């Protein structure tokens, strides 16, 4: 039995295909863009072709994420909290805490020993501490966002970023550049600022080992290192961290199919 999970986030659309709720067949990620439906159609075609699966071979489809209600091909829509919990546990069964930093929000989820969501906290009121925050800073610094992790590792003294608002933080970065602060130290400071906010959010729950880091920002090694420094704990990035929500959705699709 093949099931499909679709995670329609604020910045990207993700897919994941599973066989019998156990084998990951593949998935893909694309920027949402101005025409989310077109992007989703192209992404679905790409996912199916890579996996050698036909659309007719899919038993059930579950959608999650901000745009889940707009997914007309889904048999059911399920919240991203539930899907991220299930997806992280599938990828790393020892996970008890999930830190997920996406395009427009950050969330921390606590799991039980059998992978059930116990509690969660979320910051979705402000872009600070999210992927969008980093995208704005990358533009201000004129540095590719993909290079942030490697560059921040060379920073010797992280710059202090005091503003939590993305707009004001951008002005602060520009001021630091004017004062000839190095980009390495600024980027390192930005990562430290994000980590401080996220760990403060996490401390509203009980942070249990083992901690899984998911979402697009999990691809940034600098943020991961800053989170470890702020929490004093080891943090693990699962394979395909951007697809965790989509994997969870595919698992739910398997369950509603009677698997």
Q: What local confidence, expressed as pLDDT, does residue 166 receive?
A: 85
Domain 1-92+240-259 has CATH 3.40.50.300: no
**pLDDT at 127 > cutoff 70:** no
Distances (CA, A) of 136 to 61, 87, 178, 184, 218: 34, 29, 17, 16, 17
Confidence (pTM): 0.92
**117 strand-pairing partners:** 111
Cβ neighbors of 211 (< 8 A, separation 6 or more) are 95, 96, 97, 98, 99, 231, 233, 234, 235, 236
27-45 pLDDT, tens digit per residue, is 999 998 778 778 888 999 9
Comma-separated ranges of CATH 3.30.420.40 domains in the chain: 1-92+240-259, 95-237
CA 197 to chain centre: 16
* Mean pLDDT, range 74-91, rounded to an integer: 96
- 211-214, strands of its sheet edge to edge: 117-123, 106-111, 97-101, 211-214, 235-236
- Report H helices in the chain: 36-51, 80-91, 131-141, 148-152, 166-178, 183-202, 221-231, 244-256
**Averaged confidence pLDDT in the chain:** 93
Around Cβ 220, how many Cβ atoms within 10 Å?
26
CA distances from 201 to 45, 99, 155, 234 (A): 38, 10, 26, 17
Q: What pLDDT, in 10s, does the model give residues 3-30?
A: 999 999 888 999 999 999 999 999 999 9
Q: Are 85 and 111 in contact (CB under 8 A)?
A: yes
In this prediction, residues 68-85 reach a mean pLDDT of 94
- Residue 123 DSSP SS3: strand
Could you tell me which CATH class the domain 95-237 is placed in?
A: alpha beta
**Burial of residue 149, with CB atoms counted within 10 A of its CB: 0-12 exposed, 13-18 middle, 19 or more buried:** middle
How confident is the model over 184-211, as pLDDT tens digits?
Answer: 999 999 999 999 999 999 999 988 889 9
∠ CA(19), CA(22), CA(25), 5° rounding? 45
């Amino acid at each position: 039995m093949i099931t499909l999970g679709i995670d329609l986030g604020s910045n990207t659309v993700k897919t994941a295909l599973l066989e019998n709720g156990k084998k990951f067949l593949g998935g893909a990620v694309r920027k949402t863009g101005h025409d989310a439906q077109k992007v989703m159609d192209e992404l679905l075609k790409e996912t199916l072709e890579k996996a050698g699966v036909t659309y007719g071979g899919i038993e059930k489809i579950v959608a999650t994420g901000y745009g889940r209600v707009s997914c007309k091909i889904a048999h059911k829509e399920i919240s991203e909290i539930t899907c991220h919990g299930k997806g992280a546990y599938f990828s790393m069964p020892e996970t008890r805490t999930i830190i997920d930093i996406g395009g427009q929000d950050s969330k921390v989820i606590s799991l039980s020993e059998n992978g059930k969501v116990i509690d969660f906290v979320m910051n979705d009121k402000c872009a600070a501490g999210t992927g969008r925050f980093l995208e704005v800073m990358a533009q201000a610094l004129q540095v590719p966002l993909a290079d942030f992790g490697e560059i921040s590792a060379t920073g010797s003294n992280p710059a202090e970023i005091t503003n939590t608002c993305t707009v004001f933080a951008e002005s602060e970065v520009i001021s630091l550049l004017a004062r000839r602060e190095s980009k390495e130290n600024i980027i390192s400071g930005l990562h430290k600022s994000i980590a401080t906010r996220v760990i403060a959010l996490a401390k509203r729950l009980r942070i249990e080992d083992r901690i899984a880091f998911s979402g697009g920002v999990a691809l940034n090694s600098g943020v991961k290192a800053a989170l470890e420094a702020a929490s004093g704990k080891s943090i693990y990035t699962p394979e395909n961290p951007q697809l965790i929500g989509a994997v969870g959705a595919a698992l739910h699709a398997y369950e509603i199919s009677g698997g």
